[in-house]
Amino acid sequence: MEFLNGFEHASIEKAVKILKDGDVVAFPTETVYGLGADALNSYAVAKIFEIKKRPKFDPLIVHIGDREWISAIADYVPPEAKKLIDKFWPGPLTLILKKKDAIPGIVTAGLPTVAIRMPSHPVALNLIRSFGNPIAAPSANPFGYISPTNAQHVAKMLGDDVSLILDGGSSNYGIESTIVSFNEDKIYLHRHGAISYEELSATAGPVNEKEKNSSCEAPGELPYHYAPTKPLKIIHTIDEIDDARSSFLAFKKPLKTPISKYIKVLSNSGGMREAAANFFSYLIELDQDDVNIIYAENIPETGLGKAMMERLKKASKKYMHITH
């Protein structure tokens, strides 16, 4: 692990090279430190989840270098969002907007929306602009730890799991960005953070607490989990497939051809990173109108396999409720 002064040009150049090579760097923002990868490269983003060791996928925030970049990744910016952008960007406010296809499924955990913010920290802005692509980044803490607010925290928490940490001093705010979404002229607060409720409403009018989503599967469950609309069943061998009007999500290349109408192989060689990079886009692709069921091959629960299985188990539970 290397530690470089983020205010120096050579450090930014080095970080940009790492990002271009599809790897991960830790960088400062004004809220907390982030663990960043090229937001348009699903394989690079899979590495973030590997390092975070989180047993599930969470949607990530996409960090942009200029407000003009929004149009490449989000479909529509409502007037309320424009007001908030004028007032708070660059800064600790994250907007949830409808996503464009350029953003891979692993960034949003399969959701049709993407969280976007333009940070104000000079090192973050310099990094993003020099790189030229949006950077997907969660807070740079492993699962179970609080968010790091200086480079030493990151080094202690991630050690050799990350090859470069850009040091930009202590984060000014020390808490995460405020997250809002929009629906029919209304603004919803998803996460309290560095910008207060009062500041938001002074700029854009009334702000609602996050909607209690009716598609929520169970009490206490976060509503943003993507689940296929078709029933899903986890299987251990392809002999368990007894419906040809089905999709099959294979982990590795199958030894014989399954009878399923649609087949996707997450990784021919069974590589976890490659599998995770393909996971959400394949799952969405296999969720076809003309199938009765999606079969998913059991994935070994090591590394990223745990997070993929978490999602598959959740989807298959929904199926059990329907059929039993």
Q: What is the closest distance, in whole angstroms, from the C-beta atom of residue 31 to ligand TXA in the complex?
A: 3
- Vertex 97: Cα angle to 113 and 264 (nearest 5): 20
CA–CA separation, 189 and 201 (whole Å):
11
Q: Which of Mg ion, ligand TXA, none does residue 227 bind to, with CB < 5 to 8 Å depending on kind?
A: none
How does DSSP assign 113-135, residue by residue? EEEEE----HHHHHHHHHH-S-E
Q: Is 115 in the site for ligand TXA (CB under 6 A)?
A: yes
Q: Is 31 in the site for Mg ion (CB under 5 A)?
A: no
Q: Which of Mg ion, ligand TXA, none does residue 247 bind to, with CB < 5 to 8 Å depending on kind?
A: none
x/- binding map, residues 116-155, to Mg ion, per CB under 5 A? -----------------------x----------------
Q: Which of 23, 25, 34, 228 binds ligand TXA (CB under 6 A)?
A: 34
Contact 296, 249 (CB under 8 A): yes
Interface segment toward ligand TXA; rule CB under 6 A; list 37-45, 91-99, 235-243, 275-283: 91-99
Cα Dmax for the chain: 62
Residue type (1 letter), 82: K
Number of residues this chain uses to bind Mg ion (CB under 5 A): 1
Q: State which of positions 172-211 bind ligand TXA (CB under 6 A).
A: 176-177, 179, 190
Query: 225 or 233, CB closer to ligand TXA?
Result: 225
CA–CA separation, 288 and 90 (whole Å):
40
CA–CA separation, 131 and 129 (whole Å):
5
Q: State which of positions 123-142 bind ligand TXA (CB under 6 A).
A: 137-139
Q: What is the closest distance, in whole angstroms, from the C-beta atom of residue 53 to ligand TXA in the complex?
A: 14
Number of residues this chain uses to bind ligand TXA (CB under 6 A): 24
Query: 142 or 303, CB closer to Mg ion?
Result: 142
Q: What are the Cα distances from residue 173, in Å, to 31, 42, 121, 277, 321?
A: 5, 30, 11, 32, 44
Looking up tokens 């990094």, which residue turns up?
127
Question: Which of 225, 228, 235 is closest to 260 using CA atoms?
Answer: 235
List residues near Mg ion by CB under 5 A: 139
List residues near ligand TXA by CB under 6 A: 29, 31-32, 34, 58-61, 92, 94, 96, 108, 111, 113-115, 137-139, 176-177, 179, 190, 224
